[in-house]
Every structure is written in structure tokens, then in C-alpha cells.
Structure 1
Amino acid sequence: MAWDTARTQQLLLDAAVEEFAEFGPDGARIARVAARAGVNKERIYQYFGNKEQLFGAVLASELGKLAEAVPIAAVPGAGLGDFAGRVFDYHSANPHFSRLLAWEGLQRGTEAEELAAEPERTAHYGEKVAAVAAAQKAGELTEDVDPGRLMFAVIGLVNAWFTLPQMVRLLLSGATDPAADREAVVTLVRRLTGPAPH
């Protein structure tokens, strides 16, 4: 029987997502990834290289899924609140993604070395910033904040609901309501990013 390379790589990526989301890039173990996937760990080195490269492959794959599910180009500037709502929905359905980003930020974010898949991710986020800049130029979004910082604020606001669950619990007395949380994010992004009234 022929070896199904693509299937094996996907099994390893899926297992690595779980491992990295739970333990972070420093705490993750190649042996556990292999065991979760039911694949010999030598395949990880063969297909992905070392643990850092596997983490990079996981982030690139997960970022690609988000970009495909929620393309910003399809959202006009005035709809940035709706974009935030769709990103919120994605994170609700895929909580591991926020965890991966949080782990990376905690364990890699301030280091001088290149981030996992940094050139591709820089290009991806560059497209988002360009879309925001175009919407600002068209008068659809506030020009009070430069486009990169505005996009960062939107991403940060959405991600905070998933990376700071303890604050949600403390501030809302444990009475979380996903629909109300989503509506709050959408409303806040619309108010924060909308053009100044004339």
C-alpha cells in the first residue's frame, strides 16, 4: 500500500495544533504530537524539520484558514465592525487559534529572532492594513489613528475575549453570553473606527 504523505502531514498538523495550543511552543513535545497523530515522530522531522518549524507550519496553516474564512478585502471600511464580528465567530468556533497566538506572543513576541512564517504573515497583515488605509482615504473609517494601529486595536479587542477569559469572568460576574459578547465587540469596533461626525 502506498504511503499517503498528504494525509500523514495533515494528521501531524492537526495533532500539533492541539499540542501547541495546550502547551505553547516551549512546552510542546514532538513525541506527544506523534502519539496524538498515531505517526512515527521521525515523520515530523522528515516533513517539517524541527519543533520550531512545525510551530511555524501550524501558525501558517491556521492563519490561512482564518484568512480564507474571513477575508478583509470583502468587507468595506464601514463594515469593519461586521468584520470584527466574523473574526469573533471564527475564534469562538476555533478557540485554539487565539491560544496559539497568545503562546507565541508570550514566548516569542519580544525576541529579535524571526517569528514563525513571519514574511507570509507580514504580507497577510499588510493587506489588512492597506484595506483599512483605503477605507480611511475614502472617508469610511476614522483617520485619527494610523491604519496599522487601528487594525491592531480591532484584532486586540476581538482576541481579548478569548485570551483574557478571567477578565471576562471577573468583570461580568461570570455571566457571559456569547451573543451579547459578540454584539459588544461589533458595537465597540463600529464606534471606535467610524469616521468622525461632520
Structure 2
Amino acid sequence: MPRRYDRAGTSKLLLDAAIDEFADMGMHGARVDRIAENAGTNKSGIYSYFGSKEDFFAATIEAVMTRMAEEVPINAVPLDGDDLPGYAVQLFDHVCDHPEVVRLFEHEASHYADDLTAVPAFAARADAHGARVRTIGEVTGDDVDPESLLMSVIAMAHWFVAAPQVVRMIYGADHDEARRRYREHVRAMVTAVLAAP
């Protein structure tokens, strides 16, 4: 019996392998033949599904962003002040559990440094951030700058993963304990901002 070709399954295998490769090596250092090998497919499939290596990099980033938006939604339910610290902690947990997200963002920023509007799906991602800002603004009213609060939440979540050497210097060798303590700090910081007069 002939084997049916699973385009969606192959595409997912390629994207999963690409996440690790692009996160580790960046756009220029990543090798499509290594991605294909790790996905158990051939290199020609990458070009067939995604086009150029740059298009593949963009598709990989979009896949990671989609996963993160699904796993850490801020607009999924009506928020109150108690939910914003929870959102911050969810985002922190997500990037700790998926450090490739932070590494991909760093490579993306470096790769598109000369034209940040060329970032994959820039307009759609800006709209998504705008929706988060509006949601925060609805919860906080005029008491809090919602853009700055969102930026602070993102920075708090990402920095712990982006600079593990600094985490080690400050907290010592027990990474699990550092994560637990910093996680509670993230919650406390957002709670304090919301409670400030």
C-alpha cells in the first residue's frame, strides 16, 4: 500500500527542528540541511514548503509567537487587577520552559536591526501588542501607563532567561530556587504597580 504524504505533519516536523536550529545559530548560522536531517526529511521540502531560508526563519518565528499567544493569552478572558500579575507569571513560566523563545527574539533583533519593520509579521504582532495594551488599559484606567507596564512584564520575563550568567551571579547555583524566588518577585512587582497611588 503506498504511503500517503502528510504535508502538515512534515511542515510541523520541520518547524520544530527549525526552532532549535535558529534559536541556537541565528538566521545566518543555521543550516537547512541540519534542520532537514533533524526533522527526518530532506532539504528540498524546506524550500517547497517555506520558500527561502529567510522565509523559513520568518515562519519559525511566527510559529513560536503563535504558540506563545495560545499558551499565554491576555485577551482570552476579561481581566481584573488580579489577573495581570498572573499573566506576568504565566509569561515568565512560558519563557523559562521555552528558552528558545528568548534566543529567537535575540537573533531576530540582530538580524533585522537595520529595519525593524521588516521583522516577520511586524504589523500583526504590533496589533497583538496593541490589543494587550488596550486590555491592560481597560483594567488599570489612567493610573498606569499600559505600554510601559506591558514592556516591563516582557522584560522581567525575558531577562531571567536571556542572562543566565547574571542570574547565577546574583542568586547562586540553585537555579530552581532562583526561578521560584524571581517568579514571586515578578508577581509582586506587577501587584505593586497596580496598587500604587
Instruction: Specify every segment of 5 or more residues in structure 1 that has no aligned partner in the other structure, as ranges.
Output: none
Amino acid at match of 2:196: A
Amino acid aligned to 2:130? G
Identity rate, percent:
34
2:37 corresponds to: 35
TM-score in terms of structure 1 length: 0.88
Equivalent pair of 2:33/2:43 in contact (CA under 8 Å): yes
Change beyond 3 A, Cα 1:195–1:110:
farther
Distance (whole Å) between structure 2 residues aligned to residue 53 and residue 2 of structure 1: 26
What does residue 152 of structure 1 align with? Answer: 151
Q: Secondary structure at the match of 2:187?
A: helix
Q: Is the CA contact 1:81–1:186 (under 8 Å) kept in the aligned structure 2?
A: yes
Which residue of structure 1 lines up, in the alignment, with residue 97 of structure 2?
Answer: 93
2-structure distance, mates of 1:124, 1:69: 14
Residue 60 of structure 1 aligns with an amino acid whose one-letter code is E
| Inter-partner Cα distance in structure 1 for 2:115 and 2:170 | 32
Instruction: Name the CA shift for 1:93/1:110 in 2 (closer, same or farther; >3 Å).
Output: same
What is the number of equivalent residue pairs in this alignment? 191
Residue 153 of structure 1: CA displacement?
1.1
Query: What is the rounded CA distance, in whole Å, between the counterparts of 2:161 and 2:129 in structure 1?
Result: 20
Q: Is the 8 A contact 1:157 1:185 kept in 2?
A: yes
Q: Paired residue for 1:23? A: 25
* Structure 2: gaps of 5 or more residues: none
For each residue in 1:2-34, what CA deviation from the matched residue of structure 2 results, as whole angstroms up to 9, or x when unmatched?
Answer: 211011101100110010111112211111111
Q: Does 1:169 align with 2:171?
A: no
Distance 1:126 1:113 in 2: 16
Moved more, 4-13 or 105-114: 105-114
Q: Which secondary structure state, in structure 2, belongs to the residue aligned with residue 122 of structure 1?
A: helix
Q: Secondary structure at the match of 2:118?
A: coil
1:71 match: 73
Deviation at 1:148, TM superposition (A): 1.7
Name whichever of 100-109 and 26-35 sits farther off: 100-109
Give, in angstroms, the shift of residue 91 of structure 1. 1.5
Out of 7, 14, 17, the residue aligned to residue 16 of structure 2 is 14
CA contact (8 A) 2:85 2:191 kept: yes
Query: 1:78: how far off?
Result: 3.8
Deviations 1:71-125 (A, max 9, x none): 1123434421111111111122212111111221233245355101212211211
